[in-house]
């Protein structure tokens, strides 16, 4: 894949900005990169961003799940070769290509070992500008991605430990969209703007309760799911208001409490009354004894707090 269109990465949330900061730091270095994140969280977009920031000419994106055991080694090298064009046996550009390996854990162990070899050779090349020998002609920067926990796979013997350490010198860890609540509407707005451009029609608008639902939803498919959702809403509700009733059932019926607990119940359980007393005492302490303020901290009215303090004989 050769891609010349500039990529725009949207997001202000702290975790995403941190991932972007790391990406910017390593973009111009010629080190291999490992991008970690759930499905649809933007791993390939980061690979494209890294590629654009480099001096390399071509980007090839390969899904490792499509590699078959017997062909994976040769395929890996044929992709690397494609990125390193030669003229009369000479590599004519010192920095030529980026090879993006999507879901690198899907490579079998032999191909993983070959990838390690390829990375080491690419490193040698990047420090020596003109290479005339065929066996040294690979000049490729590897960007690999994974949505799995590589450390666990290494422990289980399913992923080459040397390759793991080689790849994850500086990993880029992308947050889930559910950890980027404030970015949901920024991204939705971005997708609507793209759709307006593409279809030359006005975008719909979300009502405030609908926005609340979108922010609450856990987006298991991350940004890809949000992008698909925006396209669906755009096509169905052009120039209209989108209310909660118009949202797909999985978003409409999602309740935050079902998946994200405010408080994790210890295995040994709790005594609810002891917990309640403790929380009331903390609220009173934090508000310097001010009962109205303490009640606000607990989401209660002052009268309800006074009633409960009396019930538990807590000295006022
Ligand atoms: N920060 C971002 N700003 C705007 N669009 C984004 C951003 N991140 C990802 N996208 C868009 O979201 C979609 C999914 O992103 P991408 O393909 O990069 O995710 P991925 O993690 O590589 O997915 P997969 O796990 O399926 O390989 C794409 O359409 C991409 O353009």
Edge-to-edge, what's the strand order for the sheet holding 97-102? 58-63, 97-102, 140-146, 33-36, 172-173
The β-bridge partners of 33 are: 143
Task: Tell how far CA 298 is from the center of its chain.
Answer: 34
Q: Are residues 26 and 107 in the same domain?
A: yes
By most ligand atoms within 8 Å of CB, the mutation choice from 23, 24, 182, 224 for ligand 1 is: 224
Q: Which two tokens stand for residue 83?
A: 């990125």
Interatomic CA distance for residues 122 and 142, integer angstroms:
9
Quote the ligand 1 centre to 53 CA distance (angstroms): 18
Atom of ligand 1 nearest to the CA of 46: 18
Residue 262 is predicted with a pLDDT of 64
158, 175, 192 — which closes off a domain?
Answer: 175
pTM of the model: 0.74
Q: Are residues 85 and 21 in the same domain?
A: yes
Q: Are residues 306 and 196 in the same domain?
A: no
Residue 36 is predicted with a pLDDT of 96
By most ligand atoms within 8 Å of CB, the mutation choice from 44, 105, 146, 174 for ligand 1 is: 44
Interatomic CA distance for residues 229 and 180, integer angstroms:
17
CB 138 within 8 A of CB 118: yes
Question: What are φ and ψ of residue 145, in 5° steps?
Answer: -130, 160
175, 198, 233 — which closes off a domain?
Answer: 175
Atom of ligand 1 nearest to the CA of 40: 23
Interatomic CA distance for residues 210 and 38, integer angstroms:
25
Residue 109 is predicted with a pLDDT of 86
Report how many domains make up the chain: 3
Q: Specify the CATH number for the domain of residue 277.
A: 1.10.10.60
Residue 134 is predicted with a pLDDT of 43
Residue 94 is predicted with a pLDDT of 41
By most ligand atoms within 8 Å of CB, the mutation choice from 33, 41, 42 for ligand 1 is: 42
Interatomic CA distance for residues 221 and 155, integer angstroms:
27
Q: Is 227 in the pocket of ligand 1 (CB under 6 A)?
A: yes
Residue 129 is predicted with a pLDDT of 39
Residue 97 is predicted with a pLDDT of 81
Q: Specify the CATH number for the domain of residue 242.
A: 1.10.8.60
Q: Which two tokens stand for residue 122?
A: 């690419």
Residue 153 is predicted with a pLDDT of 93
Residue 95 is predicted with a pLDDT of 47
CB atoms < 10 A from the CB of 87, how many?
8
Q: Are residues 21 and 166 in the same domain?
A: yes
Q: Specify the CATH number for the domain of residue 119.
A: 3.40.50.300
Whether residue 1 lies inside any domain: the answer is no
130, 146, 175 — which closes off a domain?
Answer: 175
Quote the ligand 1 centre to 186 CA distance (angstroms): 14
Atom of ligand 1 nearest to the CA of 103: 27
Q: Are residues 28 and 99 in the same domain?
A: yes
Q: Which mean pLDDT values do the consecutive 10-residue runs of the chain (316 residues) have? A: 68 96 89 94 96 84 71 59 50 62 89 82 48 51 92 92 91 95 96 96 95 94 98 94 94 70 77 90 92 90 89 79
Instruction: Give the side-chain half-sphere CA count within 13 A for 101.
Output: 28
The domain containing residue 196 runs over which residues?
Answer: 181-259
Q: Are residues 65 and 102 in the same domain?
A: yes
């Amino acid at each position: 894949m050769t891609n010349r269109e500039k990529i725009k990465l949207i997001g202000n949330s702290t975790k995403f900005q941190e991932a972007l900061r790391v990406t910017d730091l390593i973009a111009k270095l010629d080190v291999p990169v490992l991008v970690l994140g759930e499905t649809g969280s933007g791993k390939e977009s980061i690979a494209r961003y890294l590629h654009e920031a480099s001096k390399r000419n071509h980007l090839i994106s390969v899904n490792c799940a499509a590699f078959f055991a017997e062909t994976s080694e040769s395929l890996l090298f044929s992709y690397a070769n494609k990125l390193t064009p030669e003229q009369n046996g000479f590599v004519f550009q010192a920095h030529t290509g980026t090879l993006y390996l999507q879901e690198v854990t899907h490579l079998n162990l032999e191909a993983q070992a070959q990838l390690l070899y390829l990375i080491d050779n690419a490193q040698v090349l990047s420090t020596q500008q003109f290479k005339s020998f065929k066996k040294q002609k690979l000049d490729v920067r590897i960007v690999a991605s994974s949505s799995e926990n590589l450390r666990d796979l290494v422990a289980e013997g399913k992923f080459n430990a040397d390759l793991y350490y080689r790849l994850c010198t500086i990993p880029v860890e992308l947050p889930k969209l559910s950890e980027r609540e404030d970015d949901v509407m920024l991204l939705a707005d971005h997708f609507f703007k793209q759709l307006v451009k593409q279809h030359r029609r006005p975008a719909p608008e979300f009502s405030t309760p609908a926005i609340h639902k979108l922010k609450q939803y856990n987006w298991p498919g991350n940004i890809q799911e949000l992008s698909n959702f925006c396209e669906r809403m755009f096509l169905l509700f052009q120039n209209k208001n989108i209310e909660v009733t118009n949202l797909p059932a999985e978003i409409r019926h999602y309740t935050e409490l079902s998946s994200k607990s405010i408080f994790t119940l210890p295995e040994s359980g709790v005594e609810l009354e002891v917990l309640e007393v403790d929380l009331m005492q903390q609220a009173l302490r934090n508000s310097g004894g001010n009962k109205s303020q303490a009640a606000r901290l607990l989401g209660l009215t002052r009268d309800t707090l006074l009633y409960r303090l009396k019930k538990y004989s807590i000295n006022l």
